[in-house]
Amino acid sequence: MTPKISWTSKFYVCPGGVMACAAVLVPGLLRSSSGTICSPAASLRLTSSTLRHLTLTSIMKSKRKTDHLERTASVVRREVVSAAKVCGAANESPSVKRLRLLVADKDFSFKAGQWVDFFIPGVSVVGGFSICSSPRLLEEERMIELAVKYTNHPPALWIHNQCTLDSEVAVRVGGEFFFDPQPADAPRNLVLIAGGVGINPLLSILRHAADLHREWADKGGGYEMGTIKLFYSAQNTSELLFKKNILDLVNEFPEKIACRLHVTKQTTQISAELKPYITEGRITEKEISDHVSKETLFYICGPPPMTDFFSKQLENSHVPPEHICFEKWW
């Protein structure tokens, strides 16, 4: 039985707690059809025994090898669990729903590319979803965005079938896949390689890089970004997520940001606005090897075979291991 949780304040995992010992967008709110906007949410205070029970119950009940908590048991998490309120939902593709969450807790923060443990009242299984918005959106509006593909996993089912405007959940940041340069760091180029919903953390990184470009242009200070090239593959153009957001950034920074969108099973005509950016077929080894340099960092997120292939290719091209970052989502 799932313990009853009071969703009223915030909670810090005790150093001896179950998970504490683990080592390791578009401005404006999304609206419902009625145009309602949620008001600031309160933080969440959970007792350590309650969250411990919830976590253990989640692990024991899930027999799937893809269980998020089991798969990420050795990954570093932040201690704070914060309340969040659903402020908007939209269909990003036929199979993916985008959520915007308000997180009022000032102790909640994340680095571009990280994910959240996603706690749902009444659902014993804990979800794990990459944040696709930039840290700047959280700083300015206390908002984060997630994009969740429909599956039979309970958290995804809840998001697609039961989640409504003003639904209350809780989130905790984790993950070692991120881009968080400091002002004194050397400029770097980025190559982002995404497959399917693996675009989510890479979009967060892309948006963060764009924010850094704006800060450099406006203030002449901060971190100096190099160029960013996004390679993104999906079955067809309807499954290419965030197309408009990506192309808006390409058009805003034509000398800094570029993208190549791949489709592997396209059966319909490609629109005129997308056609210049579309390549039919998978991302190739040559496309990636053309961008190898000592100033370039590579971030890969997609199906495990794709991630394994490109990370191995980059190793064989003598890219230093510390310049190859990847996230696998089964």
Coil/strand/helix, residue 51: helix
Taking residues 21-49, report their average pLDDT. 34
pLDDT value of residue 265: 97
d(CA 182, CA 222): 8
Q: How far apart are CA 283 and CA 26, in angstroms?
A: 28
Mean pLDDT of 225-229: 98
Alpha helices in the chain (DSSP H): 48-61, 68-71, 135-141, 154-161, 199-219, 243-252, 285-289, 304-316
Contacts of 228 (CB under 8 A, 6+ apart): 189, 190, 191, 192, 206, 209, 256, 257, 258
pLDDT exceeding 70 applies to what percent of the chain? 79
Measured CA to CA, the distance from residue 221 to residue 319 in angstroms comes to 29
Answer yes or no: is pLDDT of 241 > 80. yes
pLDDT at 65 over 90: no
Q: Is the pLDDT reported for residue 114 higher than 90? A: yes
The mean pLDDT value for 281-295 works out to 97
Q: Is the pLDDT of residue 51 over 80?
A: no
- Say if residue 28's pLDDT is above 90: no
Which residues lie below 8 Å from residue 313, measured CB to CB, with a gap of 6+? Answer: 285, 288, 289
The whole-number average pLDDT for the span 194-216 is: 97
Coil, helix or strand at residue 322? helix
| Mean per-residue pLDDT over the chain, rounded | 84
Tell me: pLDDT of 24 over 90: no
pTM of the model: 0.83
**1-15, 62-76, 236-250, 262-276: least confidently modelled range:** 1-15
Distance CA 202, CA 192 (A): 6
pLDDT of residue 273 exceeding 50, the answer is yes
Q: Closest by alpha carbon to 142, among 39, 31, 218, 5?
A: 39
Q: Does the structure show a pLDDT above 60 at 305?
A: yes
pLDDT range class, residue 45, cuts 50, 70, 90: very low
Q: What is the pLDDT of residue 330?
A: 56
Domains of the chain: 76-174 (2.40.30.10), 189-328 (3.40.50.80)
Question: Confidence band (pLDDT; 50, 70, 90) for 328?
Answer: confident
Distance of alpha carbon 25 from alpha carbon 98, whole angstroms: 12
Q: Once rounded to an integer, what is the mean pLDDT over residues 113-129?
A: 97
Residue 316 confidence (pLDDT) above 70: yes
Strands 80-93 and 96-102: antiparallel
Helices 243-252 and 199-219, axial angle in degrees (round to 10): 30
Asked if pLDDT for residue 251 goes beyond 60, the answer is yes
